[in-house]
Amino acid sequence: MTQALLQLKDVSSGYKASLVLRKLSLSVASGEAVAVLGKNGMGKSTLLKTIMGYLPKASGAVHVGGLDITRHGPHRVARAGIAYAAQEHALFTELSIRDNLRLALAKESAFDERFSEIESVFPVFKTRLKQFAGTLSGGEQKMLLVARALMMRPAIMLLDEITEGLQPSVIERLAEALLGERKKRGTTMLLIEQNVPFALKVSDRFLILKQGEIVDEGSAKAATAVQRIFDHLRV
Amino acid sequence: MADVHTATLQTAPAPARQGPAKARGLLLLGLAGIALIAFGPWIFGTYLLNILIKAFFFAIVAVTVDMLWGYTGYLTFGQSAFFGLGAYAAGLVFTHAGFSISTALAALGLAIAGTALVGALVGWLSFYRGASPFFATVISLVLPIVLTQLLLSGGAWTGSSSGLTGYETFDLPLEAWYWIAGTALALVALLGWLIVRSDAGRVLTAIRDNESRCTYLGIRTSQVKIILLSATAVVAGLAGFGYGSFSGVVAPELSGFVLGTEFIIWVALGGRGTLWGPLLGAVLISVVSAYLSSSMPFAWQLVLGCAFVFVIVLLPQGLVPLLLRPLHRSGPGAFEPALIERIARPQTGRPAAAPALVLQGVAKHYGHLKVLQGIDLAAEEGQLVGLIGPNGAGKTTLMRCMSDGAERTAGGVNLCGHDIRTLPPEECVRFGLGRKFQNANIFDTLTVAACLRIAGTILERPSLFTRSPTLALPSYALEVVRTTGLAGKLSAVAKDLSHGEQQALELAMVLALEPKVVLLDEPTAGLTKTERTQIGRILSSLALHHGLCCLLVEHDLDFVQEIATRIVVLHQGLIVMQGSFEEVVHSDLVKTIYAGSAHAAPEAA
């Protein structure tokens, strides 16, 4: 394994007085994809929000490459090369699909080239670029979130339940696209999923989060992975 | 509640809280308030008493503004108009008809009837179906402006810009006025406090948080807001009547929007949504302004303005929450009722043998875009229909057309034998509909228990003054609450729940309505496989054992296979296929447009 690109050390965070993450340490190597699994309310989304700087850290430190981003707000974290597909309410509903995607880029001139690469993954957007994002169906909005993150060509992608509400064939295409992205650009990924087969297909390693702590981890490709994960999710 | 058997599920004692400390603190504050009202005349000088009496009348209005804005979310500049109406009722009657017991009663009646009428009218204008909150606020701004203009153009009859002075009024000593105004303020505050804490009062907060969810729980929100506005208008009018009778002077400024804006400032400074805050804010600022305006007539407004900016920047919650913080450590959500089971009510008013859900030729167009075309669909009780289709096929739009009569462009929808015509959601819900939205649609600032109680509002009228120690839910809603662990989080605030818990909460809320037809838009999104299986079991028992008609949008085909009795496939706004799971999912059409390779070979899943 190469050096860690994303590193969390003893990170605690939460809402007001109640801590959701408790001294969580995690290191994701460059080019690695890690699936974060666990029951609801265990701190999975909180983990991503904390990395992004939407939630302040009560303690601990977060590093990207050599850069300390512990105290950075979301805009600076994004500039460090992290793209975040949030679970909900993260689109500009009054802007067109194109403008939503365009906002992921620094320059207008890059749009056509970047879009041509993702349009085969999301053929629905090709003819509808001028439509307002708010008029898309729930599943299509979800796709647009992922499309926007892909457009950024980030070093690290944080993906929060991106398969939620998507039809099976799209989920399949999405898995191929993420794998392709990893192969082509060596993108590092941290993904939260309820769809375990999808998560294992895309990632190298899985983590189980319980009460804000990592209680188990293992190779996503191990034959016993599925059984181990379901044992954790059941209890 | 004779039909509720008490199977208390929560046997563990409630965790220790700081409830007693908080209650003691509030009690002390209350006692201090009562003492100030009782002994004020011996403590304060004549000048201060005069100011305090007026301040008390203003504070009553500030409390009503807090009820409307802080709790219900309706920003209003118009409460001064009702205050002015009440004051002018006294001024006009006493000036033109003289003062006697009978004219005093007539003036009082006029104040009550006039404000109630104007309040209802303004409420109807502001909250009729479809009006935006912004529109309502604009109306509230127009009202005092129009009223002031009317008063200014009334010539000698209203005294125009100088108002009415020197009329004969109640001949009471200053102390008596002080007690009257103080007692009135205390009573209004107490009443308001009881109401906002009560089960019915939570509905106001629910309207502020998420009005759409309220309508989909069958709550007639417009009606609630119109009644509330009328009631608070009468209270403000009575305060105005008191003010006019006490001061012997009424002027157009009393009904102006400047005063209306000042009420808002007092509420914001004191602490919006606390009742105590606006009350203290109104009294303190009135008193301080009176002193400052005499000691530094030119600079005092500047001082007040700076104080305002200071508080807004440093204490956005207002002053009182800061002062009360030591008492509030346990938070407002500490109250936790016990869960009990509610026996489903017998079906009434239902035409026999009518199918639960019938759609005929339903279409929906957005301009040229045809989202749905000629949808014919019928579903019986006890059926669980799985609605599948590609993203963007129109599934959610179809559900919207079934639950809101104003949505569809053409066609007819029949719910349990009732044609929904163009009726709004709250009426469709009363025909027996329940709708679970795609994204968790709940009341963010309320506790889980409060959310669930509000969901049952149309079945069990909540009390206006008390909080019920129990929370009754139908058996299947209880099952959702228990299996997903929400039963242990009844006092948690909804927005602090995880995504999956919020989904489960919304499902439980919809089921608490005891619907006959349930529309479920991805009810298991964000839940783990285990939780899905549990919810799946509950859903199929809804259809099989409780005879509900369920329509389910879901992308997890394994999940649909396990529980659906029939599958309907929607593609580009048309129903392209119906049938059993085997027929549909293994058809070439569905494989091409929807499922992909995973379900082409079932063993691969």
B297-308 confidence digits (pLDDT tens): 888 878 878 888
* pLDDT value, residue A196: 92
Between chains, do B596 and A143 touch, taking CB under 8 Å as contact?
Answer: no
Between chains, do A167 and B594 touch, taking CB under 8 Å as contact?
Answer: yes
What percentage of chain A exceeds 70 in pLDDT?
98
Residue B363 CB contacts under 8 Å (≥ 6 apart), including other chains: B370, B372, B373, B374, B375, B408, B409, B410, B411
Residue B394 CB contacts under 8 Å (≥ 6 apart), including other chains: A137, B364, B371, B372, B570, B572, B573
CA torsion, ordered B109, B110, B111, B115, to nearest 10 deg? 110
| Alpha carbon distance A53, A47 (integer Å) | 10
Residue A26 lies in a domain: no
A104 touches chain B (CB under 8 A): no
Nearest to B391 among A89, A166, A172 (CB): A166
- Structural contact between residues B541 and B533, judged by C-beta atoms closer than 8 angstroms: no
A40 touches chain B (CB under 8 A): yes
| Alpha carbon distance B404, B422 (integer Å) | 7
Return the axis-axis angle of helices B79-97 and B221-247, rounded to nearest 10°.
40
CA-nearest of B243, B241, B253, B96 to B167 is B96
Pure H helices in A28-96: 44-52, 74-79
Residue A118 lies in a domain: yes
A228 touches chain B (CB under 8 A): no
What CATH number does residue A83 fall under? Answer: 3.40.50.300
* pLDDT value, residue B604: 35
A172 touches chain B (CB under 8 A): yes
| Alpha carbon distance A20, B500 (integer Å) | 15
- Structural contact between residues B325 and B318, judged by C-beta atoms closer than 8 angstroms: no
Between chains, do A88 and B522 touch, taking CB under 8 Å as contact?
Answer: no
- Domain ranges across chain B: 44-257, 357-443+511-604
* pLDDT value, residue B4: 38
Between chains, do A40 and B527 touch, taking CB under 8 Å as contact?
Answer: yes
Average pLDDT, rounded, for chain B: 88
Report residue B10: phi and psi, to 5°.
-100, 100
Between chains, do A40 and B501 touch, taking CB under 8 Å as contact?
Answer: yes
| ipTM of this predicted structure | 0.83
Which chain B residues are closer than 8 Å to A171 by Cβ?
596
Nearest to A233 among B391, B485, B530 (CB): B530
- Structural contact between residues B452 and B481, judged by C-beta atoms closer than 8 angstroms: yes
Nearest to B499 among A40, A165, A197 (CB): A40
Number of structural domains, chain A? 1
Between chains, do A138 and B526 touch, taking CB under 8 Å as contact?
Answer: no
Residue A207 lies in a domain: yes
Dig out the tokens for B589 from the structure: 């059409």
Nearest to A194 among B394, B438, B527 (CB): B527
CB-based burial label for B339 (10 Å; 0-12, 13-18, 19+): buried
Mean pLDDT along residues A92-120:
93
CA-nearest of B373, B363, B357 to B414 is B357
* pLDDT value, residue A84: 96
Between chains, do B392 and A124 touch, taking CB under 8 Å as contact?
Answer: yes
Question: Average pLDDT for consecutive 10-residue bins of chain B (605 residues)?
Answer: 38 42 75 91 93 96 96 95 97 95 96 97 87 91 96 92 93 95 96 93 94 95 95 98 96 94 91 90 90 84 83 81 64 72 68 82 90 94 93 92 94 94 94 92 94 93 90 93 90 88 93 94 83 87 92 89 92 93 87 69 37
Return the axis-axis angle of helices B475-483 and B499-512, rounded to nearest 10°.
170
Q: Could you read off the pLDDT of B547-575 as tens digits, one per residue?
A: 999 999 988 888 898 899 999 999 999 99
* pLDDT value, residue A232: 87
Residue A61 lies in a domain: no
* Single-letter residue type at B98: G
C-alpha to C-alpha distances, A114 to A78, A103, A174, nearest whole angstrom: 18, 12, 16
Best CATH choice for the domain B357-443+511-604 from the list 3.30.1330.60, 3.40.50.300, 3.40.605.10, 3.40.190.10 = 3.40.50.300
Entry pTM: 0.87
A17 touches chain B (CB under 8 A): no
| Alpha carbon distance B371, B119 (integer Å) | 41
Average pLDDT, rounded, for chain A: 92
- Structural contact between residues B482 and B11, judged by C-beta atoms closer than 8 angstroms: no
- The minimum CA-CA distance between A172 and chain B, rounded to whole Å, is 7
User: B380-418: b or e for each residue (b if 16 or more CB lie within 10 Å)?
Assistant: bbbbbbbbbbbbbbbbbbbbbbbbbbebbeebebbbbbb
Residue A2 lies in a domain: no
Between chains, do A40 and B557 touch, taking CB under 8 Å as contact?
Answer: no
Q: Which residue has the tokens 């007693």?
A: B20
CA-nearest of B541, B546, B584 to B563 is B541
Residue A175 lies in a domain: yes
- Structural contact between residues B444 and B492, judged by C-beta atoms closer than 8 angstroms: no
Residue A95, domain extent: 32-52+73-234
Between chains, do A194 and B528 touch, taking CB under 8 Å as contact?
Answer: yes
C-alpha to C-alpha distances, A13 to A47, A60, A85, A149, B526, nearest whole angstrom: 8, 9, 20, 25, 22
A130 touches chain B (CB under 8 A): no
CA-nearest of B405, B403, B411, B414 to B355 is B414
Supply the DSSP string of B111-171, one letter for each residue. Answer: HHHHHHHHHHHHHHHHHSTT--HHHHHHHHHHHHHHHHHHHHTTHHHHTGGG-EES-----
Q: Could you read off the pLDDT of B401-451 as tens digits, one per residue?
A: 999 999 999 999 999 999 999 999 999 999 999 999 988 899 999 999 999
Nearest to B501 among A41, A124, A170 (CB): A41
Residue A13 lies in a domain: no
Strands B249-250 and B164-165: antiparallel
A232 touches chain B (CB under 8 A): no
- Structural contact between residues A187 and A157, judged by C-beta atoms closer than 8 angstroms: yes
Which chain A residues are closer than 8 Å to B598 by Cβ?
168, 172
* pLDDT value, residue B16: 39
Nearest-Cα residue of chain B relative to residue A193: B526
Return the axis-axis angle of helices B499-512 and B448-455, rounded to nearest 10°.
30
Nearest-Cα residue of chain A relative to residue B397: A137
Q: Could you read off the pLDDT of A5-33 as tens digits, one per residue?
A: 999 999 999 877 678 899 999 999 999 99
Between chains, do B528 and A168 touch, taking CB under 8 Å as contact?
Answer: no
